[in-house]
Structure 1
Amino acid sequence: MLIEPRDPLIVRDGRPFTNSPGARARSLPFPLPQTLAGAYRTRRALLEGLPLPERAEEVLRWGLRGPLLAEEGREGWRLLLPRPLDALKLGERVYPLRPLELPEGAGTNLPEGLRPVGLPSPSLKEKPAPLSAFWYWESFLEWILKDSPEGFSPEGHGGPTPEVRTHVALEGATQTAREGFLFQTSGLEFARGRSRLALVLWPEKELEGIFPLGGERRLAFWRKGGPGVPPLPEALVQGLVRSKAARILFLTPAFLEGAYLPKGGAFGGARVEAAVVGRPQAVSGWDLREGRPKPSRRAVPAGSVYFVRLPEAWGEGEIRAWAERIWFQNLSDEEQDRRDGFGLAALGVWDGTLWKWEGA
């Protein structure tokens, strides 16, 4: 399902926004899954005649996957995914970050059994160059199917364009501007040049129509269709069978019980060996059942990558079944977070070898 905002989308970052002169309402660079989950459930409940919050328990069981980003092309909508954080650009080349083997006598402050992650060569000392925040599916697929691709140059862009608008407060009686009461709102324009952008969702039931989304009840076009869930590549499965190791890449923020580690230190039986995790993302929101703000929590950001080892006893059948349970499924530890869209994941190959520590 596609959601295309008609006007710049405002998804507030949680900082206070008062009626004082000079106030600024800042937007997140991309909407959180719960924003789309809340809008979807509210709209579907209204269409089906379910009163809220009386039927909140039932409505909250409606799950979805996403949101991701899509761009309209000549042959339809193209899927874009968040940049994997195990990709680092130095100069003109993109290098993979991989788990490192500790030299004898060395130690870290990581949890027991967790490896550090780094570059393949101690001579790589350049300042990292920026990479596009969103990659087209074709570039993302190449990255996950090759453990260390040569000459890799991802195609993508920065996603929705930030837009800032300046407003003035009005006098209620005269409807004229109040002296000195200027304020700003920032939103996301879902366009890049002449290209249209949209949000992609995969809910249990698709909706159509023109409905509000985000702050100020700005309108968005909701329509069926758009990119489908990509099928699990057979080449990926065969790579996992050979190495009995994998990369798990989060496409939406995830909530994990151990802060940045899954419950029990494993994803469905695969043990975490190392991780490349971005800065935690603060998430709050509105509790539909209680009618009050939710407590703030920290999520693992989209793009984070986990290196995992599969059990040696697993054969091709078990590995294929595990891959199907992970591929484009929500992996957060709590069931409600999974229903809300947190922790959408993809898989990538990893040969399972540990690179030498720099200078070792």
Structure 2
Amino acid sequence: MLIEPRDPLIVRDGRPFTNSPGARAKSLPFPFPQTLAGAYRTRRALLEGLPLPERAEEVLRWALRGPLLAEEGKEGWRLLLPRPLDALRLGETLYPLRPLELPRGAGTNLPEGLLPVGLPSPSLKEKPAPLEAFWYWESFLRWLLEDAPEGFSPEGHGGPTPELRTHVSLNPTTQTAREGFLFQTSGLEFARGRNRLALVLWPEEEVEGIFPLGGERRLAFWRKGGPGVPPLPEALVQRLVQSKAARILFLTPAFLEGAYLPKGGAFRGARVVAAVVGRPQAVSGWDLREGRPKPSRRAVPAGSVYFVRLPEAWGEAEVRSWAERTWFQNLSDAEQDRRDGFGLAALGVWDGKLRKWEEA
């Protein structure tokens, strides 16, 4: 399902926004899953005539996957994914970050059993060059299927365009601007040049129509169609069978009970041995059922990568089953977080070998 904002979308970052002069309402660079989950459930409940919050328990059970980003092209809508954090560009070369074997006598402050991740050669000391925030699916898929692609340069862009608007406060008596009462709102324009952008959502049941989304009740077009869930590549399954190791890449933020680690240190039986995790994202919101703000929580950001080992005793059937239960599924620890779209994951190859940490 596609959701295309008609006007610049405002998804607030939780900072207070008052009518005081100089106030600024800043938008997040991309909406959280719960924003789309709440909007989708509200729209569907209204269409089905379900009263809220009386039927909130039933509505909260409606699960979805996403949101991701899509761009309209000549042959239809193209899927874009958040850049993986295990990719590092130095100069003109893109390097993969991989788990490293600790030198003899060395140690880290990582939790027991976790290995550091980085570049093995100490000679690679250039300042990292920026990478596009979103990669087209074709580039992202190559990064998943090749452990260290040579000469790889991903195609993508920075996503929705930030748009800043300056407003004035009107005197209700004279209908003129009040002196000094200026404020700003920052939104996301879903366009890139002449190309239209949209949000991709995969709910249990699609809805259509023109409904509000985000702050200021700005309108968005909700329509069926758009990119489908990519199929699990057979080549990926065969590599996982051989190596008994994999990369799990989060496409939406995730909530894990062990802060940045899953409950018990494993994703559905696969043990985490290393991770590349970005800065935590603070997530809050409004609880419609309780009529009060939700407690603030910290989420693992999209793009984070986990290196996992599969049990050696698993055969092809067990590995395939695990891959199918992981590929483009929500992996957050709590069931409601999974229903809300947190922790959507993809799988990539990893040979399971530790890179030797070279000495300077």
Per the shorter chain, which TM-score range? Answer: over 0.9
Supply the distance in 2 between the matched residues of 1:121 and 1:143 (Cα, whole angstroms). 21
User: Which moves more between the two structures, 169-178 or 212-221?
Assistant: 169-178
Supply the distance in 1 between the matched residues of 2:96 and 2:359 (Cα, whole angstroms). 18
- Percent identity reads 91
Supply the distance in 2 between the matched residues of 1:181 and 1:18 (Cα, whole angstroms). 11
**Secondary structure, in 3 states, of the residue corresponding to 2:20?**
coil
Alpha-carbon shift at residue 104 of structure 1 (Å)? 1.1
1:267-303 deviations in whole A, cap 9, x for unaligned? Answer: 0000000000000000000112101000000000000
Alpha-carbon shift at residue 264 of structure 1 (Å)? 0.2
**Secondary structure, in 3 states, of the residue corresponding to 1:143?**
helix
Supply the distance in 2 between the matched residues of 1:165 and 1:267 (Cα, whole angstroms). 44
Q: Which residue of 2 aligns with 1:269?
A: 269
TM-score (norm 2): 0.99
Alpha-carbon shift at residue 121 of structure 1 (Å)? 1.7
Task: Number of aligned residue pairs: give it.
Answer: 360
Supply the distance in 2 between the matched residues of 1:60 and 1:207 (Cα, whole angstroms). 16
User: Which moves more between the two structures, 164-173 or 260-269?
Assistant: 164-173
1:181-238 deviations in whole A, cap 9, x for unaligned? Answer: 0000000000000000000000000011100000000000000000000000000000
**Secondary structure, in 3 states, of the residue corresponding to 1:42?**
helix
Gaps of 5+ in 2: none
1:142-185 deviations in whole A, cap 9, x for unaligned? Answer: 00000010000000000000000000011122322111100000
Alpha-carbon shift at residue 61 of structure 1 (Å)? 0.5
Alpha-carbon shift at residue 357 of structure 1 (Å)? 1.8
Alpha-carbon shift at residue 27 of structure 1 (Å)? 0.4
Q: Which residue of 1 aligns with 2:104?
A: 104
Superposed, 1:1-360 pairs within 5 Å as: 1-359=1-359
Alpha-carbon shift at residue 356 of structure 1 (Å)? 1.3
Alpha-carbon shift at residue 132 of structure 1 (Å)? 0.3
**Secondary structure, in 3 states, of the residue corresponding to 1:152?**
coil
Alpha-carbon shift at residue 105 of structure 1 (Å)? 1.2
1:62-83 deviations in whole A, cap 9, x for unaligned? Answer: 0100000000000000000000
Supply the distance in 1 between the matched residues of 2:286 and 2:57 (Cα, whole angstroms). 15
**Secondary structure, in 3 states, of the residue corresponding to 1:330?**
coil
User: Which moves more between the two structures, 132-141 or 286-295?
Assistant: 286-295
Supply the distance in 1 between the matched residues of 2:121 and 2:215 (Cα, whole angstroms). 47
Supply the distance in 1 between the matched residues of 2:86 and 2:49 (Cα, whole angstroms). 46
**Secondary structure, in 3 states, of the residue corresponding to 2:246?**
strand
**Secondary structure, in 3 states, of the residue corresponding to 1:322?**
helix
Q: Please identify runs of 4+ aligned residues in structure 1 that moved more than 6 A.
A: none
Alpha-carbon shift at residue 120 of structure 1 (Å)? 3.1
1:71-111 deviations in whole A, cap 9, x for unaligned? Answer: 00000000000000000000001000000001111111100
User: Which moves more between the two structures, 254-263 or 349-358?
Assistant: 349-358
Supply the distance in 2 between the matched residues of 1:122 and 1:106 (Cα, whole angstroms). 15
Alpha-carbon shift at residue 358 of structure 1 (Å)? 3.9
1:297-356 deviations in whole A, cap 9, x for unaligned? Answer: 000000000000000000000000000000000000000000000000000000000011
TM-score (norm 1): 0.99
**Secondary structure, in 3 states, of the residue corresponding to 1:168?**
strand
Supply the distance in 1 between the matched residues of 2:135 and 2:59 (Cα, whole angstroms). 33
**Secondary structure, in 3 states, of the residue corresponding to 2:35?**
helix
Supply the distance in 2 between the matched residues of 1:120 and 1:87 (Cα, whole angstroms). 14
**Secondary structure, in 3 states, of the residue corresponding to 2:346?**
strand
Supply the distance in 1 between the matched residues of 2:263 and 2:289 (Cα, whole angstroms). 26
Supply the distance in 2 between the matched residues of 1:174 and 1:137 (Cα, whole angstroms). 54
Alpha-carbon shift at residue 16 of structure 1 (Å)? 1.1
